[in-house]
Structure 1
Amino acid sequence: MVVLASTALEQITLPVAPKPSTYFSGTPVINLAQPGLETLLVRACEEFGFFKVTNHGIPVELMARLEAEVVKFFSLPQAEKDRAGPANPFGYGNKTIGSNGDIGWVEYLLLDVTSKPMSHTSLAFLEEPSASTLRSALNDYVSAMRKLVREILELMAEGLGIQPRDILSKLVADEESDSMLRLNHYPPCPHLQGPDCSLTGFGEHTDPQIISVLRSNNTSGLQISLRDGSWVTVPPDQDSFFINVGDSLQVLTNGRFRSVKHRVLANALKSRVSMIYFGGPTSGEKLAPLPLLMGEGEQSLYREFTWWEYKSSAYRTRLADNRLGQFKR
């Protein structure tokens, strides 16, 4: 469990506890076994930048195995967890999110999964014999995520009517594509009074990458912001995946797809564990609206920039900052 000092706790914004009526019943559901799902998928990206994927073909046992290993890691004594990081910015961390003052009721492992699964990571603890079962579960999960991300991006391309089919998926399929896996643990918060009290676990933000794939245990906490600025709580579903459109995909579609703003709340009684795979392009990949998606006379909303430029800029900002603002025309 992460224990925050009172001085740190005082710096965390305590949001209003979500009422049952805030649960979002309109989450778009994309059944990957359903014919003609491409149109539904594109509509979800345009309206929400967010959707749930079912019938994805990834065994529940695989997801449960990694979750069990993650819980085992976060249950270690604090001194042992501290040995796993941080490693600029990868590795283990708690409370502090980034280097610009954001904090939350969370501890995490952030892993670089570029190129061959886990074999190149700078985190020495994963190479230790004691971490063999965690390493195996991570390798299997990352391989499944890579396949799922490519499939979803190819369905997006089909729905948008652009060719070739891998025009989007190839951006995350390159051996040097910049992808990450984040394992978050939001412990119960004993300082809170009552089961409905909440505080910020991970502050509001959008994801910089092209696409994010989230899976959590059966504890609620994820919230997304709708177009009118209201926040709604997404009911958990540990057998499905939740997909976020990232900033880079918003740029590639010239704003047609929406990069969804989201946050996570922690509560007094239940522990939340989430696993998020972020699919990003290679460092030198140039990002700009795809000409195939530009209508006649349509102007680009963004100037061209590389993923490295955007990633570097994003890491210098606070979570809630408008990261794309400086790249707009």
Structure 2
Amino acid sequence: MVVASPSPTHPEKVQFIELPIIDLSAERSKVINLVIKACEEYGFFEVINHGVSHDIITRMEEQGLGFFAKPLGDKQKAGPATPFGYGCKNIGFNGDVGEVEYLMLGTNSLSIVERSYAISNDPKMFSSAVNGYIEAVTGLACEILELMAEGLRVHDSSVFIKSQVDDEDHGVWVPVPPHPTAFCVNVGDVLQAMTNGRFMSVRHRAMVTNTSKSRMSMAYFGAPPLHTCLTPPIELVTPHKPLLYRPFTWDEYKKASHSLRLGDSRLHLFKAT
């Protein structure tokens, strides 16, 4: 959750853009083409008709808001985030002002049940809401990954078109209005590396625009096993598009990310030489 600041720093005024909004109930080949295009050109997209019920989302939101509304001492009982647990950090990267507090949870249902006693006054309700949400969004994440994988197979990798960040933009943050019923999906660094740069991992941040109200986000991180070797399929590496990143494991990436600030780039540490 990003905590509201009494004196926020506003970025320069720029025009809002709309991310691609993809209807997952549409014809599959159309959905695949839209997903691939969004991953290549934006690194972000939103999905609607995703199959995650409003009730599941609402129950999770209620539990999250209830936890963050507790006194600091009660929240700290959830333990330091090492990596799972409660944490709070000041944010000051790129002129942002305020602080972010977070509750990191694993996806193992038994782990959620065990931790719920330190997190909630109603552990049974908390674990039921969280595990229900995890089950639903895990299914959604797997569906989206299948669409990506199928799209990469059917697209000719020799025709490589990818939008790059324009140097003339000088790193300007572009505001995107939220969609009330959509899930926002972003390409992570691992997908950029595993597609040899075809998909674009883009820096992003959540901002509080209402200074009298905090903002809560619920993020689901899909990641491979710790010691899986991450490298692109051979079809995505050609003489015209040589390997951009050396093979690495998720464990290596996590250790590198822990040594850097939240907003720092990480992929440059794994560039092929």
Give the total of aligned pairs.
254
| Residue 256 (structure 1) aligned with residue 198 (structure 2) | yes
Instruction: Give the aligned partner of residue 239 of structure 1.
Output: 181
Does the residue aligned with 2:220 lie in a helix, a strand or coil? strand
Instruction: Give the aligned partner of residue 124 of structure 2.
Output: 132
Instruction: Give the aligned partner of residue 110 of structure 1.
Output: 104
Aligned counterparts of 2:253 and 2:202: Cα–Cα separation in 1: 17
Q: Higher strand share goes to which structure?
A: 1
Aligned counterparts of 2:113 and 2:188: Cα–Cα separation in 1: 24
Match of residue 158, structure 1, among 138, 150, 154? 150
Partner amino acid for 2:186?
N
1:92 Cα deviation (Å)?
A: 1.1
Aligned counterparts of 1:124 and 1:135: Cα–Cα separation in 2: 6
TM-score normalised by the chain length of structure 2? 0.83
Partner amino acid for 2:15?
T
Match of residue 58, structure 1, among 52, 63, 67? 52
Contact kept? 2:112, 2:127, Cα under 8 Å: no
Aligned counterparts of 2:198 and 2:173: Cα–Cα separation in 1: 21
Percentage identity across aligned positions?
44
TM-score normalised by the chain length of structure 1? 0.69
Higher relative contact order (CA 8 A, sep 6+): 2
Alignment of 1:32-47 (within 5 A): 32-35=24-27, 36-47=30-41
Contact kept? 1:86, 1:93, Cα under 8 Å: yes
After the TM superposition, which of the residue ranges 81-90 and 294-303 deviates more from structure 2?
Answer: 294-303
Instruction: Give the aligned partner of residue 61 of structure 2.
Output: 67
Contact kept? 1:87, 1:123, Cα under 8 Å: no
Partner amino acid for 2:258?
Y
Does the residue aligned with 2:45 lie in a helix, a strand or coil? strand
| Residue 78 (structure 1) aligned with residue 72 (structure 2) | yes
| Residue 22 (structure 1) aligned with residue 47 (structure 2) | no
- 1:122/1:282 Cα in 2 relative to 1: closer, same or farther (>3 Å)? farther
| Residue 289 (structure 1) aligned with residue 242 (structure 2) | no
Instruction: Give the aligned partner of residue 223 of structure 2.
Output: 280
Does the residue aligned with 1:298 lie in a helix, a strand or coil? coil
- 1:3/1:128 Cα in 2 relative to 1: closer, same or farther (>3 Å)? closer
- 1:264/1:301 Cα in 2 relative to 1: closer, same or farther (>3 Å)? same
Contact kept? 1:52, 1:243, Cα under 8 Å: yes
Contact kept? 1:70, 1:134, Cα under 8 Å: no
- 1:304/1:73 Cα in 2 relative to 1: closer, same or farther (>3 Å)? same
Q: Higher helix share goes to which structure?
A: 2
- Per-residue deviation, residues 254-280 of structure 1 (Å, max 9, x unmatched): 001001110122241233111000000
Partner amino acid for 1:326?
L
Partner amino acid for 1:284?
H
Aligned counterparts of 1:104 and 1:253: Cα–Cα separation in 2: 36
Aligned counterparts of 2:137 and 2:237: Cα–Cα separation in 1: 30
1:107 Cα deviation (Å)?
A: 1.6
- Per-residue deviation, residues 77-114 of structure 1 (Å, max 9, x unmatched): 222111112141321122357xxxx995222101122x
Partner amino acid for 1:23?
F
Instruction: Give the aligned partner of residue 90 of structure 1.
Output: 84
Does the residue aligned with 2:88 lie in a helix, a strand or coil? strand
After the TM superposition, which of the residue ranges 44-53 and 288-297 deviates more from structure 2?
Answer: 288-297
Contact kept? 2:39, 2:187, Cα under 8 Å: yes
Contact kept? 2:78, 2:115, Cα under 8 Å: yes
Instruction: Give the aligned partner of residue 271 of structure 2.
Output: 328
Aligned counterparts of 1:264 and 1:226: Cα–Cα separation in 2: 20
Alignment of 1:178-193 (within 5 A): none
Aligned counterparts of 1:138 and 1:154: Cα–Cα separation in 2: 24
Contact kept? 1:111, 1:121, Cα under 8 Å: no
- Per-residue deviation, residues 33-53 of structure 1 (Å, max 9, x unmatched): 111111111010011100000
Partner amino acid for 2:259?
R
Contact kept? 1:250, 1:256, Cα under 8 Å: yes
- 1:68/1:128 Cα in 2 relative to 1: closer, same or farther (>3 Å)? closer
RMSD of equivalent CA atoms: 3.0
Aligned counterparts of 2:65 and 2:120: Cα–Cα separation in 1: 18
